[in-house]
Amino acid sequence: MARKVGVYTRISRDDEGEALGVARQQRDCERLADLRSWQVVKAYEDNDVSAFKRNVVRDEFELMLKDLRAGLIDGIVAYDLDRLARQPRDLERLIEIFDERPRLEFATVTNDINLGTPDGRTMARIMVAFANKSSHDASRRIKRKHLELAQQGKDSGGPAPYGWRREDRTKVDPKAAEAIREAQREILAGVRLGTIRRRWQEQGLGHPRAGTQRMAHHRVEHILTSPRLVGYRTYHGEILHGDDGQPIKGDWEPINTLEEWEAVCAAIAERKQKHPGKSLARKYLLSGIARCGLCKTKIRGQINQRWEPGSKAAKFSYQCSVVNGGCGKVGRTGPPVDTLIAQLVLEEQRARASVTAIQGEQRWPKETELEQVTQDIAQLVEAERSKQITVATLLQLLPAKERLRDELKLERARFYKEQKQAEAKNDAAELSVEEFFALPVERQQEIVLHSLSAVIIHPAGRGRRKFDPSLIEPVWH
């Protein structure tokens, strides 16, 4: 009876995502299995996955080890030993399984190593040790090359970041750039990153294979706050600065202005500080805005227990809850209240827009002061480099200048954040009620809070009653 084996294939980098390299490896491994009269029952493929980086988990490699240990396969065929392991600890895990099951088969296309014998294991350990050293050497050379490219403002290659064309990563992709700008406007208008992430996932935005891979929350945040958006060159996540103290500019087209980018970064950072680790998700428009007309406790929306799909009952209601410290005596069907408040708020904002001239964009008044401080820092550094002052003198003068520079940058970011947030929240005047309810609920709440500080829901008495708008009291700013 033919031995049942698994084929393991891996390639560290697949920029195009077409898996051509692993496909070639699989064909060669299957040909070798046929020559040895083994039956290939499963292919384990780790495409675009490093075996050298310690923080990377190879899902298919882990599954293969489990299947070997469980006896589901009787051996492994790989193209080369370094496809399986570039870290000695991974090889030792494999050898441990061969200790437990001595009759396991093992073969590679490029050489003949038997993990079942002491000599074969010794040779395998030596080969993996050399492969590991080769990876370390390559990593060191690549890091040095990337730093040199970064200092010159050049790109380092690889897959194009989202927002730029795949065929030319120095040119902006108009569709992706507009998606980024729209998401940034939503952030400034109060929409959560999680809401944007879900929409991008559904629309296939943000990643070349976003339709098949779940997008991480932090990836969306990185896309919307990346210094690359304003043309800044980074190295290991930090903005690089030249000898003049100014950020090094890359050789690609920017997507944002400095003011837009700083506003978005400040808005996201501010939200994290205000709500650390807290979910800002909302399901209902007036949750936390509505208050009980009797006890004035905040009212939250809740599912109507009598509601069923297709029924005439309302899906949700606003109910004063004893659990939240309320009296429990006031409740109201949700949709009519939401519709009424949306109509009132949009009418108020249209009236305000018709009589108030929208203030034009203002420049931050301390821009000249920041430029002067930045120049002072560059001059101090240059003076020490040319031996006009000592290092001790430089270190006495520099910290105060750097603190002032950082304080001014923070003040500039806060200034433009408030300006851009006001712009984002002032665009509701032209919305219809239908367009309003098509927005994310966080955005709806920001529009309401731009006009109202609360909504008082007064008791309507016992029994079923027709909706009475006079019992809904908006509290205007």
Both 267 and 294 in one domain: the answer is no
3-class DSSP state for residue 462? coil
Which CATH number characterizes residue 224's domain? Answer: 3.90.1750.20
Residue range 389-416: mean pLDDT, rounded: 90
Q: 294 and 259: one domain?
A: no
| Residue 357 in this model has a pLDDT that exceeds 90 | no
The per-residue pLDDT for range 164-201, each reduced to its tens digit, is: 998 888 899 999 999 999 999 888 888 888 889 888 98
- Which token pair is 165? 């064309």
Round to whole Å and give the CA distance between 102 and 92: 15
**113 and 254 share one domain:** no
Is position 352 within any domain? Answer: yes
The total number of residues shown for the chain amounts to: 477
pLDDT value of position 267: 87
Segments forming the whole domain that contains residue 85: 4-136
Task: Tell me the pTM.
Answer: 0.55
Q: State mean pLDDT over 1-5.
A: 85
Of 117-131, 177-191, 395-409, the poorest mean pLDDT is in 117-131
Count structural domains, the chain: 3
What is the CATH classification number for the domain harbouring 106?
3.40.50.1390
What integer best gives the mean pLDDT of the chain?
Answer: 84
Residue 105 in 3-state DSSP?
Answer: strand
Shared domain for 127 and 225, answered yes or no, is: no
Determine the 3-state secondary structure of 235 from DSSP: strand
- Arithmetic mean of pLDDT, 292-309: 80
Inter-helix orientation angle 391-425/441-451, to 10°: 90
Residue range 98-121: mean pLDDT, rounded: 85
Where a domain ends, among 82, 109, 136? 136
| pLDDT at residue number 13 | 74
C-alpha 211/C-alpha 229 separation (Å) is 24
Residue 102 has pLDDT above 70, yes or no: yes
Q: Which of 274, 307, 341 is the last residue of a domain?
A: 274
pLDDT, residue 350, reads: 82
Please name the residue ranges forming H helices in 77-216. 81-84, 88-100, 118-151, 174-188, 193-203
Q: Which residues are paired to 318 by β-bridges?
A: 301, 332
409 assigned to some structural domain = no
Kindly report the number of other CB atoms within 10 A of residue 108's CB atom. 21
Same domain membership, residue 83 and residue 25: yes
Residues 246 and 296 reside in one and the same domain:
no
Q: Residue 113: pLDDT above 70?
A: yes
For residues 125 and 15, membership in a common domain is answered with yes
Q: Which helix (H) or strand (E) holds 321?
A: none
> What is the DSSP secondary structure assignment for residue 307, as one 8-state letter?
-
Segment 434-463 shows an average pLDDT of: 86
Nearest CA-CA partner of 356 in 450, 473, 445: 450
Where among 82, 108, 136 does a domain terminate? 136
Highest-scoring range by mean pLDDT, 239-253, 293-307, 314-328, 401-415: 401-415
The per-residue b/e assignment along 116-150, b for 16 or more CB within 10 angstroms, e otherwise, is beeebbebbeebbeebbeebeeeeeeeeeebeebb
Residue 223 lies inside a defined structural domain of this protein: yes
Is residue 149 assigned to a domain? no
In this structure, is residue 200 part of a structural domain?
yes
Q: Summarize the confidence of residues 307-313 as an average pLDDT.
A: 56
Same domain, 270 and 295: no
Instruction: Look at residues 315, 292, 285, 288 and name the one whose alpha carbon lies nearest to residue 300.
Output: 288
Residue 29: the pLDDT is: 93
Q: State whether 270 and 296 are in the same domain.
A: no
Asked if the model's pLDDT at residue 39 lies above 90, the reply is yes
Asked, for residue 402, whether it belongs to a domain, the answer is no
Q: In this structure, are residues 466 and 332 in contact, taking their beta carbons and an 8 Å threshold?
A: no
Q: Residues 6 or more apart from 217 whose CB is under 8 A from it? A: 193, 194, 197
Q: Answer whether residue 263 is part of any domain.
A: yes
Alpha helices in 51-117 (DSSP H): 59-70, 81-84, 88-100
Do 181 and 253 reside in the same domain of the chain? yes
Pick the closest to residue 251 from 236, 233, 269, 277 (CA basis). 233
Q: Contact, 340 vs 322, CB < 8 A?
A: no
One domain, residues 452 and 337: yes
- For residues 304 and 451, membership in a common domain is answered with yes
Would 471 be classed as within a structural domain? yes
Write the pLDDT tens digit of every residue in 210-255: 444 567 888 899 999 999 999 998 877 788 887 777 888 888 999 9
